[in-house]
Structure 1
Amino acid sequence: MSRIPDYAHNLSLRMSQVMDGIGVSEKIMMKRRRLMLLNESLFTLTHQLLGKDRNVFFFGSQIEGTTTIGLNSDLDCLISMNNYNVIQDWSEWEYGKHNLLMIQDEYVSPGYCLLQELRDDAPLPLVVEVNDNSYRDRMGRILLKNTMFNVLENAVRNGPAQSVRDVPGVEDNDYVLAFPCHERPVQAGHWLNQHREEHWPTNDIVQYCRNTRCFVVGVGKSGSVNELLEWRISTSFAERYLMFNLNITQIRCYVLMKMILKTFITLRFPDNISSFMCKTVLLHCISYTRSDAWKEITLFICLSFCLSTLYNCVQNEYCPHFFITQNNLMSGRFLPETKPLILENLRYVIESDGRALLEIKCDNIDKYLQSSLNGFEPIHPHFIPTLIAGQLLKYITRDISSFFKCLLSEMNDLSPRLAMQKLLTFMSYHHIENYTNIDRKAYRLITRYLCSSRGSILSSSNINQQDHLTYKKALEFLSLGLDSDVASGKLKLASFFYCTGDIERTELILKNIEECYDLSVVEPICWCYSFKHYSIRDKFKGLCYESNEECRLFKHITASCVYFIRCERNCCPLELQHEMFRSTQEDHAYRSRDDKWMNMAVVDSLPYLYFLQYKTYSRLGRQDDKQRALNNIARTMDVEPNLGHRDTALNLLGQCMEEENNIENAFKCYARSLQIRGRNNSAKFHICKLLHKLINN
């Protein structure tokens, strides 16, 4: 890196400017990390509230901040099965857990291990008949196969991961089921003992990595004689921490390497060089150099250094894992006929003196860099970063809604008493004292929704008993849920007042919601099922980009669905209760295991707001306001593209039309609803009821 061409500094600055414009900036990188760490805590919390002894961790580009819209990186999700215990020494055996003894000998590939099954009631080898998930070796040990995990619904096996692809409205995800190691494996510990002075990583970083956990994941070394029995040792936690400690130039260098890989290598040779190899090469390059070599004005030089190192790795077919150096990532990866072609492509990029960068179509790098080199503004300031910020917040909010839905589905068929007990269990989770600050934020976000449901269940089961103490307690819990988002918690409170006959207070709350619900800003949030989501509002994206306190935005610019489970039905308007019984016996055959929400009444916040206004103004005799509310429901059906429960809103609108004695338009609403959802739709009931009424009249 000592020879620096005259043009390199200018090209580096232009490249940095372009990377900033497409969202590879410190601001967006930190925003990604904050929100993804929050989502990681939400995933783990939901699993544990549902009684699953698991931790969920995100790894890879999405949480590192090393991706762009064009790269469209997967979300790598590792699920740690905590009821398993991988040990290296018999003293680490734990009673009651599925203990697995790690075996690493000369017959096992470097970076991998075998897992011997042990008894869970005594520190002894398991001696039973083998099954489809196990194998008895020549020494009589029962070894666990790495194919033991069942493939998830809508997923395909991809190495150790189960990949979910091409689901409408869903980013591509890779789910990896893993076992936690009791102690860091010996192979992964050699790196920690290397002497360091000036070079990266520093002793502090090494010490942190020493304390991070390791996992084993279900995939063997390709071509190994033990391929079905080997488990790969994962140091993803330490790798993530190293990536979190890189500066923005190093991050940009890695992103550019992936873009070059995608442009010049992957299309022709998809299975030879992976992005993980590029990351490993980057980490090695950083460790070879001084930290002050990685600056904005040296980005092109740093990139050239990394590409030259990658070239040498391919040429020698040797790229040592950063932590487990015995594991050669490129062993057996190249065919004799493809290796020269890959080297030729890499040599072209390296020797092009930067001209090859003008061939990168990903994220329009070619156009933006050419414009920047010509002295023009390459990208409209903040246009792409604001889009990324908006997408991130919306994804997290959708997940919060989805987690809440999962918790509610556990209570939907319970009696009010049992549902309250389940809620109390959720809300007094015993591990809360061990939470980090980000875990506490995640817990508060979920608890706000649970408070609304708790108040609604409490009031629903006592609505006719005139119990002042119960009324006060229900009101207290409903009030605690008001800040869940801009509308859904308040709508639960408004429903409570409406169903108890307190129309004046209902009207006041609905007026407050309408004032807070800025139609040019607030995004409706639904994740009950997979459907295509359309573009996000510009003002929503702008607020997401400007704020560094994303958790505060949830209650101001997002509006989740409103959920009522069956034991809340006395606090749910009669017109909406029909949605709890939408499915005939025949319809049930067309439902998946993810359709449990169909046993609830679920509606988007905005049309439900207008529906409650219509009913409230109808009782108050305010005809003009009632008509305005009715028009607002109809308009929302046409202008709001991201409603998840448009069929339900149309059913509510149809019942309003019936109340107006507008039978023709009521039929049209129900027919339109059935066009959206042909089965599991209460519109069938409404049509039959309407026909019965017409015939009898």
Structure 2
Amino acid sequence: MFQASDYIETVSVRLSEVLADIGVDERIVLKSRRTWMLTESTNNSANQLQDKNHTAYFLGSRSEGTTTPGLESDTDCLICKNNFNVVQDWSGWQPGVHNLLMIQDDTVSPGYCLLQRLRDDAPLPYNDVPNEHFFQDRTGRILLSNTIAPGSLTANYLTGYVDNGPAYTQLGQHGNAGVDLVPAFHCKTWPLQARPWLNLQGAGQWPSDDIKRYCSNTGCFVVGVGSKQSENEELELRISTSLAERCLMFNLNITQIRCYVLMKMVLKTYIKPHYEGTISSFMCKTVLFKLIANTQSSFWREKNLLVCLSFCLFVLYTSTLNENCPHFIIPGNNLMAGHIAHESKPRILEILQHIINSEGTALLGIKCDALGARLQLKLNNLFLFKTSGIVSGCLLIHTAHMINDSITFGLHNISNNSYEVAIQILLKYIFKLVTIFNQSQGLNRTACSLQAPWFCTTLGSILASLNIQQYNGISAEALSWITLGLNTDVSSSKLKLASIFYCRGDFYRTVIVLTDIEGRYDQTIVEPVSGCRDYVRQAMRGFNEISDNHNEEALQFATASCVSFLRCESNCIPNELQYELFRSTEEDLALREPINYWMDWAVVDSLPYLYFLQYRTYSYLGRQDDKERALSNLIRTTEQEPNLGHRETALNLLGQCMEREDRPTDALGCYLLSIHLRGRNNAAKFHICRLLSAMVNHQAGTMF
């Protein structure tokens, strides 16, 4: 076995330490995998609530835990319509669904297939061309064109995405990576072309028979893109073994993962800026798999990391030289075919050769995550700031946004419904989540337990709104439902309860709830969360430390989501906030993005709403000092809190407080600043018109 020199071992250990500092260690890798697998479970349970007949799979670097902030990896999501039954032989045919037969013969490129349409009522070929997405070949077979796959997505998934070959891509904002939505068909059986792989075994005895057995049970996907080397490019569809590859990645040790991350950093630094589209991350992954399968496991250890990287780059060099990078599971599929231009090849080989021969010095030039600078400092035994806490914080924020999106998606369907319809839909959601929970295990149960309390709170608030309308009271049933959701986060559900008491006129109970919230809201730890708009989040050290030591359970005591009210909760909304329900003019509605469901609701960040409710409640109770303190806190928060998703709404509330303080000029300033932040779909327009009218008529002090 290759014996590394002391120099190589020293650089390897320091390099491993640097990668650990930026979050590439066992703990953060597992945390990242948990976050994205939970995202997958939450997405699919949310789709079940809406009776959506498709399944999402989050794949690639993020779900594998093989990325860093500097790599800016895309989020890859495969969307599979479940009413298609893709089979590899006639025995898999099913009645009543869209049956498609995979054809994998000598006329099809390796790693690809054709899809032949079968009849829904009998296991027979379909004989007619139904629409422009199908084609009849010379033998009479009705074949599916790969243009059908993107069209199989629902409109809910396509909003805000641009066409990008087989995928739809949502472009990233503020330096964040984008999201690739890839429409696909799922086949439950292992592809014929991959079956020889199940019997192969290299010197490394990896993957094990158990892993291969699991992989074979994951089936495969069929993705709507053909081989560029084929005469039938428009008819061929690529066979993807993404779930099996995810399983393989989950079974790598940390040195192997670090080696893969380093390969991607090398690509980002030295190859992609000049030769985009030549060598891909997937090719690097394939090279890594090949090398692991053909080396002893003892080779892959921390003090050998630099040698491991050099071996991987050498295999990549050889593949580039031969323009042949066989797919690990379907070796007949050459991943490099048609990717490397003749004029680019010599320079790419030269770059790879230089990095291999540099004995690690080329790594000092990697600016991604400041890896080169960090390595230099580490070799000089200087202390480095660890960013793993920042990574953990981002993962927890992602989880909070993911839950928020699933709840928003669910509540959208009841935005403008009557009390009765809204109540029935929410009950359906809750009972369906309970059913899924009882039939599931692991993260699928966690996903249900994270969503259900939010719907319970909304149901309780709608019941309370109906109670107040009917007899100006609050039923025990409404309070019971609200109580079930009080611990979703630090504040938002409790603020709904405080709003209910406030609108009922029960100011003493309002104060009790608000005091409890203020005591729990440690502003050095608690992070505001708003999924309604994109903004540059400024991380707090205390929040990151909490996130680093906890998983999704930290949502309860370290995040503060927005408070959202539907129109059927109007009797639980203070008058000042009700203006937000009618923020949009007809022109605003015409120009509004369909995905902005929240604009039909009253939505406000937790912290400014806490201080607003305190200000109004203490005003009623005559507690002047407490009222002034609350107003000062509202002003400070609106001006200084960096992570507000609805600063314009906070300014609208502050403006109305200024009107009550007989400070119309300050109120107008708040509304104008609000309009500056959000020019459309903003209730500030109504406030400005109302205030100017009152000022002209010298009635500013008697408006309320």
Tell me whether the two structures share a fold, i.e. TM-score over 0.5: yes
The letter of the residue matching 1:451 is: C
The letter of the residue matching 2:466 is: S
The letter of the residue matching 1:256 is: L
The answer to whether 1:47 aligns with 2:50 is no
Partner of 2:632: 631
Partner of 1:593: 594
Q: Tell me the percent identity.
A: 51
Partner of 2:371: 365
CA contact (8 A) 2:203 2:296 kept: no
Partner of 2:545: 542
**Which of 182, 187, 195 is equivalent to 2:188?**
182
Partner of 1:439: 444
Spell out, residue by residue over 1:239-266, the C-alpha distance to the aligned partner (whole angstroms, 9 max, x if none): 1111111111000111111111222222
Partner of 1:88: 88
Shift of residue 130, structure 1, vs aligned partner = 4.3
Question: Structure 1 unaligned runs (5+)?
Answer: none
Determine helix, strand or coil for the equivalent of 1:462.
helix
- Give matches, 1:234-273, under 5 Å: 234-273=240-279
CA distance in 2, matches of 1:372, 1:584: 58
- Give matches, 1:135-174, under 5 Å: 135-148=135-148, 149-150=150-151, 152-168=158-174, 170-174=176-180
CA distance in 1, matches of 2:216, 2:297: 22
CA distance in 1, matches of 2:657, 2:463: 29
CA distance in 2, matches of 1:371, 1:103: 56
CA contact (8 A) 2:525 2:542 kept: yes
Structure 1 window deviating more from structure 2 (318-327 vs 366-375): it is 366-375
**RMSD of aligned Cα (Å):** 1.8
Partner of 2:416: 413
CA contact (8 A) 2:189 2:217 kept: no
CA distance in 2, matches of 1:570, 1:169: 41
CA distance in 2, matches of 1:119, 1:168: 49
Shift of residue 351, structure 1, vs aligned partner = 1.6
CA contact (8 A) 1:215 1:233 kept: yes
Question: Structure 2 unaligned runs (5+)?
Answer: 700-704
Determine helix, strand or coil for the equivalent of 1:76.
strand
**Which of 379, 385, 389 is equivalent to 2:388?**
385
Moved over 6 A (4+): none
The letter of the residue matching 1:486 is: V
The letter of the residue matching 1:545 is: D
Spell out, residue by residue over 1:122-164, the C-alpha distance to the aligned partner (whole angstroms, 9 max, x if none): 3333344443322222222222221221493332333322111
- Give matches, 1:413-562, under 5 Å: 413-429=416-432, 430-466=435-471, 471-529=475-533, 531-547=534-550, 550-562=551-563
Partner of 1:66: 66
CA distance in 1, matches of 2:409, 2:497: 22
The letter of the residue matching 2:338 is: G
CA distance in 2, matches of 1:193, 1:416: 61
Determine helix, strand or coil for the equivalent of 2:470.
coil
Partner of 2:356: 350
Shift of residue 518, structure 1, vs aligned partner = 0.8
Partner of 2:683: 682
Spell out, residue by residue over 1:305-351, the C-alpha distance to the aligned partner (whole angstroms, 9 max, x if none): 11111111112222211111111112232222222221111111112
CA distance in 1, matches of 2:60, 2:619: 54
Determine helix, strand or coil for the equivalent of 1:484.
coil
Determine helix, strand or coil for the equivalent of 1:465.
helix
CA distance in 1, matches of 2:128, 2:604: 52
CA contact (8 A) 1:401 1:561 kept: no
Partner of 1:336: 342
CA distance in 2, matches of 1:197, 1:491: 61
CA distance in 1, matches of 2:109, 2:465: 61
CA contact (8 A) 1:116 1:141 kept: yes
Partner of 1:300: 306
- Residues paired across the two proteins, number: 690
CA contact (8 A) 1:257 1:307 kept: yes
CA distance in 2, matches of 1:224, 1:97: 30
The letter of the residue matching 1:615 is: R
Shift of residue 509, structure 1, vs aligned partner = 0.3
CA distance in 2, matches of 1:534, 1:2: 47
Structure 1 window deviating more from structure 2 (196-205 vs 208-217): it is 196-205
Determine helix, strand or coil for the equivalent of 1:442.
helix
Spell out, residue by residue over 1:582-632, the C-alpha distance to the aligned partner (whole angstroms, 9 max, x if none): 111122112011122111111111111111111111111111111111111
Structure 1 window deviating more from structure 2 (91-100 vs 52-61): it is 91-100
CA contact (8 A) 2:492 2:561 kept: yes
The answer to whether 1:309 aligns with 2:304 is no
Spell out, residue by residue over 1:207-237, the C-alpha distance to the aligned partner (whole angstroms, 9 max, x if none): 2112223111111111311111111111111
CA contact (8 A) 2:416 2:567 kept: yes
CA distance in 2, matches of 1:240, 1:129: 37
Shift of residue 197, structure 1, vs aligned partner = 8.3
Summarize the Cα distance change of 1:445–1:204 in structure 2 as closer, same or farther, 3 Å threshold: same
Shift of residue 169, structure 1, vs aligned partner = 7.3
CA distance in 1, matches of 2:252, 2:419: 52
Determine helix, strand or coil for the equivalent of 2:169.
strand
The letter of the residue matching 1:153 is: T
CA contact (8 A) 2:472 2:504 kept: no
Determine helix, strand or coil for the equivalent of 1:482.
coil
The answer to whether 1:618 aligns with 2:619 is yes
CA distance in 2, matches of 1:169, 1:601: 29
Spell out, residue by residue over 1:282-320, the C-alpha distance to the aligned partner (whole angstroms, 9 max, x if none): 011000011121111111111111111111111222221
Summarize the Cα distance change of 1:81–1:170 in structure 2 as closer, same or farther, 3 Å threshold: farther
Spell out, residue by residue over 1:350-373, the C-alpha distance to the aligned partner (whole angstroms, 9 max, x if none): 122222222222222221222222
Determine helix, strand or coil for the equivalent of 1:636.
helix
Summarize the Cα distance change of 1:285–1:510 in structure 2 as closer, same or farther, 3 Å threshold: same
The letter of the residue matching 1:122 is: A
The letter of the residue matching 1:670 is: Y
The letter of the residue matching 2:441 is: T
The letter of the residue matching 1:476 is: S
CA contact (8 A) 1:214 1:237 kept: yes
Determine helix, strand or coil for the equivalent of 2:475.
helix
- Give matches, 1:393-408, under 5 Å: 393-408=396-411
Partner of 1:670: 671
Summarize the Cα distance change of 1:249–1:170 in structure 2 as closer, same or farther, 3 Å threshold: closer
CA distance in 2, matches of 1:196, 1:11: 29
Summarize the Cα distance change of 1:169–1:497 in structure 2 as closer, same or farther, 3 Å threshold: farther
CA distance in 2, matches of 1:667, 1:124: 72
Determine helix, strand or coil for the equivalent of 1:77.
strand
CA distance in 1, matches of 2:568, 2:139: 58
| TM-score, with length taken from structure 2 | 0.95
Structure 1 window deviating more from structure 2 (26-35 vs 687-696): it is 687-696
Partner of 1:322: 328
CA contact (8 A) 1:358 1:365 kept: yes
Summarize the Cα distance change of 1:316–1:171 in structure 2 as closer, same or farther, 3 Å threshold: closer
CA contact (8 A) 1:92 1:182 kept: no
Partner of 1:102: 102
CA contact (8 A) 1:582 1:682 kept: yes
**Which of 284, 295, 300 is equivalent to 2:290?**
284
CA contact (8 A) 2:81 2:185 kept: yes
CA distance in 2, matches of 1:433, 1:112: 39
Determine helix, strand or coil for the equivalent of 1:428.
helix
Structure 1 window deviating more from structure 2 (485-494 vs 686-695): it is 686-695
Shift of residue 466, structure 1, vs aligned partner = 4.1
Determine helix, strand or coil for the equivalent of 2:513.
helix
Determine helix, strand or coil for the equivalent of 1:254.
helix
CA distance in 2, matches of 1:360, 1:575: 53
CA distance in 1, matches of 2:351, 2:693: 73
